[in-house]
Amino acid sequence: MMTPQELVENVEKLVALPDVCIKVNRLIDAPNYSAKTLGDLIVQDTDLSARLLRLVNSAFFNLQAPVDTISRAITVIGTNELRNLVLATSAARVFTGIPGDLVDMNEFWRYSMTTGVVGGELAARCRVLHTERLFVMGVLHDIGRLVIYLELPDMSRDILLVTGGDDRLLPDVEADMMGFTHMDVGEALLRQWSLPESIITVVAHHHRPAQARSYQLESALMHMASVISVGEMSGAELEDSCEQIDPMAWEITGLSPDSIPGVMETVPQKVNEIIDVVLSPKLSARRNQSN
């Protein structure tokens, strides 16, 4: 049986991040970079630039004044925020060729982005700094599943048959049948992409946040967000979803089920706008400027 690292090595050529995304990630981690250099790099990709500007001007940020240039976006929301948007927007567009009987890709990304939005809302209730990190964590938290679907489609069908669609069973069933989980694969892929350690850790522990040695609060928030989002997608009662959350996550975050309905009030609008931008056909800069 293959290891997570071998799966990632096989699939990395198929799902490599765009050059601009890799360059942005490296530039922000380098010393003495400038916002101008970052902006000049991003605007070379006109489609990505258009998507980023539409996201920045969406309800997700709820800015008081419109932002019409990438350089202004960097000034308003910051470089790390912009990197997160670049990562999330790029990652959602590189996976192709996955058998349709395994996953509906539009539904997968709607669920992932809902998880990201809910995670950010929960983080704000906990007064977590830089809650935008939770968005990209949500977008990427289940990305290991896509790698497994691509590389091991027959095994994936067997796993889905055993779990019957119950995500709570997934880690144990995967471990029994493959010797590793989608969390292990997601961790391996994000390390290959040289993403920040905080994102890697949360992806590796979103089912079992108490096992995280670092970024435990973020891992617990992502666990809660993913469970709530599964319920949101399936039409389950919010109370029922809350009952499925690991009790340790409530303890780690200090949140209570009573706080969750308020969190969900603005989620649908934000998710719809993000989905429209990220998954829509190729955008033009002209279209973006006219909106």
Chain length of the chain:
291
> Could you read off the pLDDT of 10-39 as tens digits, one per residue?
887 778 788 888 888 888 878 788 888 888
User: What is the pTM for the complete model shown?
Assistant: 0.89
Q: What is the pLDDT at residue 207?
A: 95
Q: Tally the domains of the chain.
A: 1
CA distance 192 to 214: 20
Q: What is the pLDDT at residue 283?
A: 58
- Least Cα distance to 278 among 116, 148, 78 occurs for 116
CA distances from 69 to 130, 136, 164 (A): 22, 22, 47
> Could you read off the pLDDT of 144-184 as tens digits, one per residue?
999 999 999 999 999 999 999 888 899 999 999 999 999 99
- Confidence at 241, pLDDT banded by 50, 70, 90: very high
Among 67-81, 126-140, 208-222, which range has the highest average pLDDT?
A: 208-222
Determine what percent of the chain is predicted with pLDDT higher than 90. Answer: 50
Contact 18, 196 (CB under 8 A): no
Q: What is the pLDDT at residue 282?
A: 65
| Lowest-confidence region among 9-23, 112-126, 250-264 | 9-23
Q: What is the pLDDT at residue 85?
A: 85
Q: What is the pLDDT at residue 149?
A: 94
Task: Give the CATH number for residue 246.
Answer: 1.10.3210.10
Residue 284: pLDDT above 60?
A: no
Sign of CA dihedral 22, 24, 25, 29: positive
Q: What are phi and psi of 233, to 5 degrees?
A: -70, -30
- Least Cα distance to 122 among 240, 278, 269, 249 occurs for 249
Contact 234, 244 (CB under 8 A): no
Tell me the DSSP string of 242-283.
HHTS-HHHHHHH---GGGHHHHTTTHHHHHHHHHHHHHSSPP
- Which residue has tokens 């493959």? 178
Q: What is the pLDDT at residue 97?
A: 82
Instruction: Identify the domain containing residue 265 by its residue range.
Output: 4-289
